[in-house]
Amino acid sequence: MPQHIHLCIIQPSGYIHSLGFLDQARFARHQFRQLGAEVTIGKNRLREDAINIIFGAHLGFPAQLKQRFTCVFFNLEQLGEGGAIVSKAYIELLSSSAVMDYDSRNLAAYGCKVGDIPIVSFQFAPYLYQAEMLPLEDRPIDLLFFGGINERRHAIIDRIEACGWSVSRFDQPLFSEERDQFIRQSKAVFNCHFYESSRFEQARAFHTLSMGTPVISERTDLTTPPPAFEKAVRWVSDDELENFFANEFLTPKWQQQALEQLQAFRETDASESWKITHDYCQALWDIDGKGKADQVWRPTQMNLGSGKDYKLGWLNVDIIARAHPDLVIDLSQEVKFPIEARTLGGGTVVLEKNSLHTIYANNVLEHVPDLPCLMTNLLALLKEDGEFELEVPYEKSTTAWQDPTHLRAMNINSWAYYTSWFWYMGWFEHRFEIVLFQWLDIDLKACEENQAAFMKVRLKKICTTPHERTIARLTQSDFGSVPDDIFNSYS
């Protein structure tokens, strides 16, 4: 049976440019599906029951997760002299892991050579092609550029516009279908190199060409595109840039050539390199994938809530599956520990008392129907000195009650029942103490109370003192759990 392949895109919180990896992930999904594999795509989520191909690991990836998951890191950065500046940790990750790449010139940067790992190419993507497309001459955008802008790219675009053309650019980052609608309305897309290394941006070009939009690309002495792009792209050297845009662009001759180049690209096929990659992944799974999948995970960090706040490497729990947590569970209801359950990634997790050293909840507590029950369960799960860090809206701010699912507003006294008045909760041996309290403004920066939109609180699980337990016996209806005093007399 073909192995499950999971494509994981790393997206740090709020980092919109990770959406750019969707183009390459969709192409990888298409290629692996053609080979009979089951393929899924996820954001920051890994699967125990699959080979995980990681996109964007240079943005941050905990290397210890390789002990639990079968991982292949897809390097899409231009590495080496004149290329992207990446962290030492990323190079070490590539050097010590299974890797795939799109350009053999990257390999030396992390100690590999040609033949050690699979090198893939991005070519014609039939799922993007539309037989009924707008003719080139009827498209409203003459020339489109998309992607990051630096001084190098800006200078080249200025030269094109000096020839009388307006180079259309987005005023805000757009990706996927929201960007593609404009590519389909463009007579051509212009590509130029971001780095002095001048690696051809095939990941951008394949997507554009597959949609039936011509690509005009800068070419330097260092630009060595894959063979599939040689006859599919209109290459322009630095010394002919002005002549091309002044005398050739959008002429009937250019349009005819552009249509021929699009047809040439539709005849390309990248399947051979992806078959090699599929076999590489399958071999990796056969070595130790099943062993990793059968491990029982005993997490030490838990994140309440999932969705956009998912924490890679933590146990992420939520009450709804569509948030794509690791575990669907409602801890605001009575729960009997330990719990052994299947994760949504196909693994096994055990959640038991006194096992967690950190719990985090970002704007969760104001939604919980039975907050005392939740706090009781969290206290049970934490080790002694374990900490629960949370953020909630402040009741005097407009952030409170703005969400229709808010059930309560909270203030500085909302923590008393979990700390000094713990006995109201029926707790006896342990309670929380506040180790951090901070007002946060709307931008989540520390502020004074009169500017506060949120409260940040860190609670630590501590043992109650003999005096505190005495007060609990005084106030609780059952005297704080009196011992049974069962005595077996000698016969």
Q: Would you state the pLDDT for residue 296?
A: 96
Q: Are 245 and 188 in contact (CB under 8 A)?
A: no
Q: Are 211 and 127 in contact (CB under 8 A)?
A: no
d(CA 460, CA 382): 9
d(CA 383, CA 352): 10
Beta strand 327-328 with 189-191 is unpaired
Q: Would you state the pLDDT for residue 489?
A: 63
Q: Could you tell me how many helices (H) and strands (E) the chain has, helices first?
A: 12, 20
Q: HSE-up of 250 (CA within 13 Å, CB side)?
A: 16
Q: Would you state the pLDDT for residue 1?
A: 39
Q: How far apart are the first and last CA of the chain?
A: 66
d(CA 35, CA 278): 8
What is the 8-class DSSP label of residue 19?
A: G
Rg (CA), the chain: 29
Q: Are 384 and 461 in contact (CB under 8 A)?
A: yes
Sequence-separated (6 or more) residues with CB below 8 Å from residue 399: 393, 442, 453, 454
d(CA 126, CA 470): 74
What is the enclosing helix (H) or strand (E) of 95?
Answer: helix 88-95
**pTM for this predicted structure:** 0.91
Tokens, residue 377? 């369960």
Average pLDDT for runs of 10 along the chain of length 491 = 85 94 98 96 96 97 96 94 89 96 93 93 95 92 90 91 92 94 96 80 92 93 88 92 93 95 95 96 92 94 88 95 94 96 95 98 94 97 98 94 93 96 95 97 96 97 96 90 74 53
Can you tell me which residue has the tokens 């929201």? 178
d(CA 255, CA 251): 6
What is the enclosing helix (H) or strand (E) of 470?
Answer: helix 466-475
d(CA 392, CA 372): 16
> 3-class SS at 41?
strand
Q: Would you state the pLDDT for residue 150?
A: 86
Q: Are 123 and 268 in contact (CB under 8 A)?
A: yes
Domains of the chain: 4-120+271-293 (3.40.50), 126-268 (3.40.50.2000), 295-475 (3.40.50.150)
d(CA 33, CA 18): 23
Q: Would you state the pLDDT for residue 491?
A: 53
